[in-house]
Amino acid sequence: MGIKTVAIHSDVDANAVHVKMADEAVCVGPAPTSKSYLNMDAIMEVIKKTRAQAVHPGYGFLSENKEFARRLASEGVTFIGPDTHAIQAMGDKIESKLLAKNAKVNTIPGFDGVVKDADEAVRIAREIGYPVMIKASAGGGGKGMRIAWDDEETREGFRFSSQEAASSFGDDRLLIEKFIDNPRHIEIQVLADKHGNALWLNERECSIQRRNQKVVEEAPSTFLDPETRRAMGEQAVALAKAVKYSSAGTVEFLVDSSKNFYFLEMNTRLQVEHPVTECITGLDLVQEMIRVAKGYPLRHKQADIPINGWAVECRVYAEDPYKSFGLPSIGKLSQYQEPLHVPSVRVDSGIQQGSDISIYYDPMISKLITYGSNRAEALKRMEEALDNYVIRGVAHNISLLREVIIHPRFVQGDISTKFLPEIYPDGFKGHNLTDLERRELLATAASLYVAEQLRSQQFLGTQRIPVAKSKRSTWELSVRLGDGIYPVAVSKDGSSFSVEVDGMKLNVTSEWNLASPLLSVTIDGTQRTIQRLSRNASGDTSIQFLGTVRVMSLRSDTGLMLLEDVQGCFCLRSSQLLAYKLQILTKVAAELSKYMPEKAAEDTSSILRSPMPGAVVAVSVKPGDTVSEGQEICVIEAMKMQNSMTAAKTGKVKAVHCKAGDTVGEGDLLVELE
């Protein structure tokens, strides 16, 4: 659009992508959000210094802060978003619910005032009837939200929600409403101008969530029929017009199994998941927001808004999905390669190779979007894109994302906000191999092992050393997978390997470029993209197969290859649970391996370790205290989400190794019991 830009950043974001893309960049403070991205005084000073004429607030922080919009207006600076009245009316969940009722929008039964304390929260919850949803009045993005099924959970939810709300939004007011069990989360994108025109740009299905935060989104929804879509769109537009809304905004609904829909909230900002709407409508929402802020009328009528094709978005997070479907991971992105070579793929990211994922901000790495003429095509491209996404240095949730999009229930469109806990009641454990996939894994790993051995015999770049060609063309290996031991025979034929597993022969073909992070392997005509994640001088290497990370130890002198599923993490830790183990041995090594002692697992019942990097908010015990199983020991805050750490058994506290305000890393010892 030819508009020059100024980026603001905290000191830890000095090398961020948005900083490098902007024409100018100014630091507004240290890492904590209250001292940088929420520091209105510092931001206003930058606006005056750079003579900025308009501000786009992005997705979070001050994007829905009416005071910030008011201060901009007082300085004659355009806020690229709605006016202060609409922000206050829709940004406050209590006021927005009252306005929605007056605009004839379906609403969820609940308490329409501000909840004063935990006792009042319990009283209100009993009146509404359990279960209830406790959430921040000024909140969004899943922060400051808790589901309570009884009085005890209501008191705990009130405490955590108010603390998270104060930390994230500077406003600890809470509301309580009836929790609709097993709903879909479907939202309507609206676009309105300053001339009284408003459109609904179809829906987005956002039901795949963890901790009330969206993980996978798509547009359109498989669930809505044209009549329901139109009814939801018309109510969303009615609400926007009721508050004289002007900009892009999103009206969120909960939809039950009978297609009854209820107003949840309105986000008066650009949504993270807006690209899927752009894909199916052809509109650039950011451009439209800028045009509306400048005073131009909308260029489109409701009849002009199409649904062309299907789009899916996966939120790629620096998280360990094997811990509560995703606890944050921090570190430096040592290698990063987006799958832009896959057709119809879009990647919106704010990081690059070498970027740091810190404890201070949301752990999102990127939004991965695929588009197709239909849903099946979009999902197939997403599967390919996830397999081709290279991320090194931090744990990530690609294994979970891949499992979600290929799950039969998701493919059929049979989803709700409870999808993850229903499908994985004991937590996410990684990909569960079928018999065919097990044979493919064995054949691929054995072929990779042989390819590595053959490469180690080559001398490149010199003609002075005579090298006799190896006449060996077959390898007999013993493979241990879980509790089973399988004989595997590998024969080389040109660039291909013939591998016999379970009495069946598989043909494995690849270019075997072992220096590339991506390796395309064809197994009996089935193409798989695997990733060689790392390899060191001792021969240790790791690969990613069907989205799940497996770690191998290769020792060419003994022919040993150890392959372990470490559930999406990049280093072995004694506290991690292994899904299954694969060993490839020569016959001699297989005989000797039975004499190798196994290291005893650490007894974790008497110790409490931090499951994630973060800051200690509170410690509830001291040495000598007696605690009960399930009792809260301390609270860890990571990426503005608070997590209660509890005792694994009843006992007496032996030692406390942390205090409020401490920064802890993943695996750090917090408390010991006798």
On whether the CB atoms of residues 47 and 77 are closer than 8 A, the answer is yes
List all residues 6 or more positions away from 204 whose beta carbon is below 8 Å from its beta carbon: 186, 187, 188, 189, 217, 218, 219, 220, 221, 250, 271, 273, 276, 277
Selected residue with higher pLDDT from 516 and 281: 281
- Residue 602 bears catalytic tag: no
Which amino acid type is present at position 215? V
Peptide bond before 220: cis, by omega within 30 degrees of 0? yes
On whether the CB atoms of residues 367 and 313 are closer than 8 A, the answer is yes
Peptide bond before 82: cis, by omega within 30 degrees of 0? no
In the numeric block, the tokens 């007894």 are attached to 603
Beta pairing partners, 506: 499
pLDDT higher than threshold 60 for residue 539: no
484-512 average pLDDT score: 90
On whether the CB atoms of residues 642 and 612 are closer than 8 A, the answer is no
Please tell me the predicted confidence (pLDDT) of residue 576.
Answer: 31
Tokens matching residue 648: 């694994």
b/e per residue 436-465 (b: at least 16 CB within 10 A):
ebbbbbbbbbbbbbbbbbeeeeeeeeeeee
Predicted confidence (pLDDT) per residue in 409-447, tens digit: 999 999 999 999 999 999 998 888 899 998 998 898 888
Which amino acid type is present at position 527? Q
List all residues 6 or more positions away from 41 whose beta carbon is below 8 Å from its beta carbon: none
Of 25-39, 273-287, 366-380, 545-559, the poorest mean pLDDT is in 545-559
Which amino acid type is present at position 336? Y
**Mean pLDDT score of the chain:** 87
What's the whole-model pTM score? Answer: 0.81
Predicted confidence (pLDDT) per residue in 451-466, tens digit: 888 887 776 666 655 5
- Of the ranges 73-82, 390-399, 537-546, the best mean pLDDT one: 73-82
- C-alpha torsion sign, points 104, 105, 108, 110: negative
User: For residues 275 and 286, what is the distance between their CA atoms, to the nearest angstrom?
Assistant: 10
Predicted confidence (pLDDT) per residue in 144-197, tens digit: 788 999 999 999 999 988 888 777 777 778 889 888 878 999 999 999 999 999
Predicted confidence (pLDDT) per residue in 275-296, tens digit: 999 999 999 999 999 999 999 9
- Full DSSP string of 519-565: EEEEETTEEEEEEEEEE-TT-EEEEEETTEEEEEEEETTTTEEEEEE
Of 1-15, 172-186, 392-406, the poorest mean pLDDT is in 172-186
List all residues 6 or more positions away from 85 whose beta carbon is below 8 Å from its beta carbon: 243, 244
24-39 average pLDDT score: 94
656-670 average pLDDT score: 91
465 φ/ψ angles, rounded to the nearest 5 degrees: -105, 115
pLDDT higher than threshold 80 for residue 597: no
Selecting among 205, 265, 338, 383, the annotated active-site residue is 265
Please tell me the predicted confidence (pLDDT) of residue 466.
Answer: 55
- Full DSSP string of 330-383: -EE-SEEE--TTSTTEEEEES--TT-EE-SSS--EEEEEEEEESSHHHHHHHHH
On whether the CB atoms of residues 421 and 326 are closer than 8 A, the answer is no
User: For residues 339 and 258, what is the distance between their CA atoms, to the nearest angstrom?
Assistant: 39
Query: Band of the pLDDT at 318, cuts 50, 70, 90?
Result: very high
Please tell me the predicted confidence (pLDDT) of residue 561.
Answer: 43
Please tell me the predicted confidence (pLDDT) of residue 558.
Answer: 38
pLDDT over 90 percentage in the chain: 58
Predicted confidence (pLDDT) per residue in 201-223, tens digit: 999 999 999 888 899 999 999 99
Query: Band of the pLDDT at 467, cuts 50, 70, 90?
Result: low
Of 70-79, 117-126, 480-489, the poorest mean pLDDT is in 480-489
pLDDT higher than threshold 80 for residue 67: yes
Query: Band of the pLDDT at 639, cuts 50, 70, 90?
Result: low
Please tell me the predicted confidence (pLDDT) of residue 463.
Answer: 61
pLDDT higher than threshold 60 for residue 612: yes
Please tell me the predicted confidence (pLDDT) of residue 577.
Answer: 30
